[in-house]
Amino acid sequence: MKLVIFNGSPRYKKSNSALLIHQFLEGYNFFNIDKVPVYYLTSNTQREASADLFHKAETVLIVFPLYTDCMPGIVKEFFERIVQHSTESVTEKIGYIVQSGFPESIHASFLEKYLKKLAQRLNCEYLGTVIKGGVEGIQIMPPVMTNKLFNQFEKLGESFALYGTFESKIVAELRKPYTYSRTYSRMFNLLSKTGLTNFYWNSNLKKNGAYNKRFDRPYQKR
């Protein structure tokens, strides 16, 4: 297998990671006729076979969300499995796409260092880490708000099909903003007092019957 993609989101096929993979493959398949398999680490069946599939691929892309500056547990478990059998691998190249709800890409900076080191431990060529913040909510946004993002991922897929790596200019654009400016931070703090910045999160809390528990601290010592 030439290219294999692993989706490390616990949300399975309804995840934002799946949506970005779809856009990436829209561009990739424009120049590539080989079908690219996508495996979901949250699937018990596919997770069992994931390590073997990883080692049989020439190039691997691992796509997953950032969960409070860390990777999901299923991704960490996957990494531990493939490291244990790295001597049996034919995988030559590995790249990552990390998306998060945090608008600033700085949140993924420490994880990025880990991912680069992991590639070295696996004796794979490191293709880089694509970081994109502000992704949470894209499934309910109107096209006018997602067109640019989706076009960027399509272009990313096209360049990957042509050159076998991530286009550096697109990667740099997707990382913006790395951090908010002081002026923007002040404006955001003022806006947060209106409650608008928490609308999406509060609606999900209410949907799951957890709104009244949003300030709970179950691990706080009494």
Mean pLDDT of 44-63: 88
pLDDT tens, residue by residue, 14-30: 999 999 999 999 999 99
Mean pLDDT of 41-58: 86
Using CA atoms, how far apart are residues 156 and 216, in angstroms rounded to an integer? 41
194 contacts: CB under 8 Å, gap ≥ 6: none
Strands laid side by side in the 3-7 sheet: 38-40, 3-7, 59-65, 93-99, 125-132
pLDDT tens, residue by residue, 95-150: 999 999 988 999 999 999 999 999 999 999 999 999 999 998 898 889 999 999 99
Helix-helix angle 16-31:143-163, to 10 degrees:
50
Using CA atoms, how far apart are residues 134 and 198, in angstroms rounded to an integer? 14
Q: Three-class SS of residue 85?
A: coil
Rg of the chain on CA atoms, in Å: 19
Using CA atoms, how far apart are residues 66 and 131, in angstroms rounded to an integer? 10
- Return the amino acid letter for 28: Y
Pairing outcome for strands 38-40 and 93-99: unpaired
User: pTM for this structure?
Assistant: 0.86
Structural contact between residues 174 and 42, judged by C-beta atoms closer than 8 angstroms = no
Is pLDDT of 1 > 70? Answer: no
List, in order of start, the domains of the chain with CATH numbers.
3-179 (3.40.50.360), 180-222 (no CATH)
